[in-house]
Amino acid sequence: MNAAIEAERFVATAGQRIRVSIRPGSAGTRRVPLVLCNGIGASYEVLDPLVAQLDPEITVVRFDVPGTGGSPASVAPYGFPYLAWALGRVLTNLDLGVVDVLGLSWGGALAQQFAVQNPRRCRRLILAATGTGAVMVPGNPRVLAKMLTPRRFRDPAYAASIAGDLYGGTARRQGDDVAGLFLQQLHAGSKIGYFHQLLAGAVWTSLPLLPAIRQQTLLVAGTDDPIVPVVNARIMNQLLPHSTIHLHSGGHIDLVTNATELAPVITTFLHDPGVSP
């Protein structure tokens, strides 16, 4: 699908103004739309390489959470239950019913919460490089400390210098490419917005919720992920009733930096007729 026809708009809902992008699926197809929930601090442009590799038949919906990218910051902090509810309102405003949801890293927490709160609206769930929130096996503290500020989204030289240590996988060889990817963001977001995202993740866990997630779920995890060790995916795979796991040799953001390899895995999962639980 040619990215030139991708439509950007702002959706006002729940006191927020949410920046949304929709890539329409191929004419004549009836695929379930795919909603992408991004990592912390990043605007939806960072997901461009992934969207470019996804099946053009699939309608792809991306958005900036409050305080990130082009969405103004929320006046007050928010939690994932509120954000999942607001996302549902956005989808309703866009006249979208049943959807598939993919969450990357921090966005994986939002995806899990959305699936719990919308069991009939969320058909399938893809969780990439993510864990169970505050109660999980943590990454290296030295690495996690680099995520306490959004500096990497504003300083290309700094982003390139830390990309390998922070993200692992293909980022170890593509530090400059990662920095360039961050530069594609039209809006770097706000410091208060980044703080709100950090706070939301610090007070949330999905550990007791996982058995209630009935959707067919694909876990995508890299064995060289310094932020979310692969053991978290193995734990989630044991607790989710209808999950499969796909391990790859990459790191935290290989879903983007190595989309040519991982996007087909996602497409295959979404198109598999399977059996609805």
Length of the chain: 277
User: In a 3-state reduction of DSSP, which class is residue 93?
Assistant: helix
The answer to whether 248 and 257 are in contact (CB under 8 A) is no
User: In a 3-state reduction of DSSP, which class is residue 31?
Assistant: coil
**Rounded CA gap, 204 and 130, in Å?**
13
The torsion angles phi and psi of 258, rounded to 5 degrees, stand at -130, 45
Q: What sign has the CA pseudo-torsion 229, 234, 238, 240?
A: positive
**Rounded CA gap, 253 and 222, in Å?**
9
Alpha helices in the chain (DSSP H): 48-53, 80-93, 106-117, 141-144, 151-154, 156-167, 175-183, 191-202, 231-239, 254-257, 259-271
The answer to whether 182 and 160 are in contact (CB under 8 A) is no
**Backbone dihedral region of 15: left (phi > 0), alpha (psi from -120 to 50 degrees) or beta?**
left
So which residues are the catalytic ones?
A: 105
